[in-house]
Every structure is written in structure tokens, then in C-alpha cells.
Amino acid sequence: TCGDLKMQVPFPFSLLCLQVIKCKAAVLWEANKPFSIEEVEVAPPKEHEVRIKIVATGICRSDDHVITGALVKPFPIILGHEAAGVVESVGQGVTSIKPGDKVIPLFVPQCGECKNCLSTKGNLCSKTDLGTGPGLMPDGTTRFTCKGKAINHFLGTSTFTEYTVVHESAVAKIDSAAPLEKVCLIGCGFSTGYGAALKTAKVEPGSTCAVFGLGGVGLSVIIGCKVAGASRIIAVDINSDKFAKAKELGATDCINPKDFNKPIHEVLVEMTGQGVDYSFEVIGRTDTMTAALACCQCNYGVSVIVGVPPAAQNITFDPMLLFTGRSWKGSVFGGWKSKDEVPKLVADYMKKKFVLDPLITHTLPWTKINEGFDLLRTGK
């Protein structure tokens, strides 16, 4: 392998590395089926591409949305988008990354050229494969094959594999001392929730917040609200088993909608007098999105949609909720400019500005990925 070659050679070292790698990957051949552990071929990185050895990857609800069909993507596919690894090789023209660097793949890239990248107001690079993207690299082809068939990419990252290929704009170099099995969460879940509070909502000291959904992203919203100085953080979930962890991370109140005979937004308005200053929907359901909006203070409350909305569903709501002054916002990857700010988030973690360990409930060998998704679906 390239990493074992230590002799000096009179021609570019990178030429020796650019070979097909055969490795194991979790391939999803069709919807509503288990992952299949397969041997795949991972092609060399082309111009401005990077091939990464994945060291750790997290399971995110967005991956499960593809399995169930709530997020429509082409099959067969290699899912996964929250990870950390080490650069194995780079394609021609890559300048920001070199072999051996520790990196985090970015499902929201940062090309630095599109209107959103150039604006200080946005972070959703036009090169992202979010939505109904084709599941291919920017040049319209795939780097994965299995049993002679082309395998689609997911969000430009595809981390449920021992090796993956991403575009240079979709990878961030991080601190070489960072523990990859922890900071992989900065690739999606933590950054998404933390940024929703700090960058999208801009939670203020002394404010009151409500967080709907206490998965890893919802707990990260709580961390962000606490760091921002919120005086009251109300955690909302139908699984009361999650309340202890929510309180550990900063929630001041925990409520289960099943314990009340009235709509949850009415409960929250009564608890707070006029409604919360900031609310966050971190589930991906249309009914909780409208409930989160309705529980906000009527004139200046801000509600943020963080959970991925289900495909082919629309929201019906009373427009008076917005007419009186509430703001309804969306947040993708917490509003962070990914390539610029992911390294800074890793640096903040290394300085102990926030914790990640409480967000990790299980550590499994990746071949048990189907068991991991069972744990996700049962709220464990």
C-alpha cells in the first residue's frame, strides 16, 4: 500500500497511490431493506478530489430517511455523512489537503464561488447534493462499483465504507491530535444542533427556549442554548427516558406531550406566560413544526426547523401566527460555513468549550450497522 512505501522514487509519489482500492462497505440495494456488507471497488480520486480512509462514522436520522423513502435518493447507494478519517490520496490540483491529514467530510461543501458561499448570510453551497441530487460526484460519475454495478454516493460523502472519495470543497482538515471517534459528530449532528442555536436563531442570554426532539441533534441544540446563556431550556419528547441526558446537558425543564390533554404548544405558552423566545423542531414532522412555531412569543419569537422535512408533505397553518411578528427559519448544518468553521469547532472541542462524549450512546464495529439503526429507531 502507499503508506508502506518508504523508498525514494524519481517520479511523483502520488502516481503510485492512484489505484483502485477494494474494501468493505455497507451497501443499501433498495428501500426498506437491511444494509448488505459488500466488497466494493473505490476508484482513485480525480482532479480536485480526495480519497479518505474512514476511521469513525455516526448514524444519523437523515440516513434512515433514505431507507424509509422519506428522503428520496437513487439506489443502490452507500449512505453515511457524519464521519472523520485520514486522507489516503489526493487527485491532481488538490492544494488544501495532503495524504496523512486528519479530516472531516462535509455534506454541505464550501466551494467559495457560488452566491451562498460568497454571502455572509448563507452557508448552503450550491454544489451540495442535498434534496433530490443525482447521487454522483460533480463530474456526473461515481467512484464506487460493486458486483459490476455502479453505486451511488450520498450527500457527496458516503461514509459507510472503509474508503470514500469526496470533492476537495467537501472536506476539512482538522487538528492532528483530535480523537476521530469523538469529533466525527462535528460532521453533522453536533454542528447542526449547536449552530441552530448559536448561528441561526442567535439565542440571547436570559432567553427562554423550547427544543422538540432529544436525539443527538436536539441535545446539541440544548448545548448551544446553554452556551448562549439561555435562562430556561424546555426539552420536549415523547420518550421520557431521554430526560436525564437532556438535563445533564443543560435542560431546565422536561415535558412529555403524552402527559397532557391539550396541545403541547398551549402547555408551553402557559408554562412561560407568553411563549418561548426561541423554539427548535429537531424531529422532522410537520405537526411538531407547527407546534414549535405556535409556542413562540407572538410578536418576536423565533422558531427554527432543524429536522429534515418529510418528502411529499405540506404544512397547513394559520398565517396569523406569522402576521403578528413571529419568525420561522430553517437551518442546514447549523448555518456554519463548513470548510472554514469545522476546523474551528474541532479546535473549540479540544479547548473543552463543549462536550461530545454524552452524545455517544453506543460504539459498535461498523459491520453491525444494522444493529445500530435498530438502536436509533427504538430511541436508544
Cα 76 from chain centroid (whole Å): 21
User: Is 81 annotated as catalytic?
Assistant: yes
Cell numbers of 158, please? 458516503
Among candidate residues 65, 153, 167, 265, the one labeled active-site is: 65
User: Is 117 annotated as catalytic?
Assistant: no
Distance separating alpha carbons of residues 231 and 247, to the nearest angstrom: 13
Non-local (6+) Cβ contacts of 265 within 8 A are 291, 292, 294, 295
Distance separating alpha carbons of residues 247 and 334, to the nearest angstrom: 22
What are all long-range contacts of 237-245, with beta carbons under 8 Å and residues at least 24 apart?
A: 237/212, 237/213, 239/214, 239/379, 241/379, 242/214, 242/379, 243/214, 245/214, 245/219, 245/358
Among candidate residues 17, 81, 220, 338, the one labeled active-site is: 81
Distance separating alpha carbons of residues 97 and 103, to the nearest angstrom: 9
H-helix segments, 114-210: 115-118, 180-183, 189-195
Among candidate residues 62, 89, 207, 220, the one labeled active-site is: 62
First and final CA of the chain: distance in angstroms? 39
Among candidate residues 60, 111, 117, 254, the one labeled active-site is: 60
User: Is 14 annotated as catalytic?
Assistant: no
Cα 230 from chain centroid (whole Å): 24
Neighbours of 370 (CB within 10 A): 13
Among candidate residues 17, 111, 184, 188, the one labeled active-site is: 188
Cell numbers of 13, please? 509519489
Q: So which residues are the catalytic ones?
A: 60, 62, 65, 81, 188
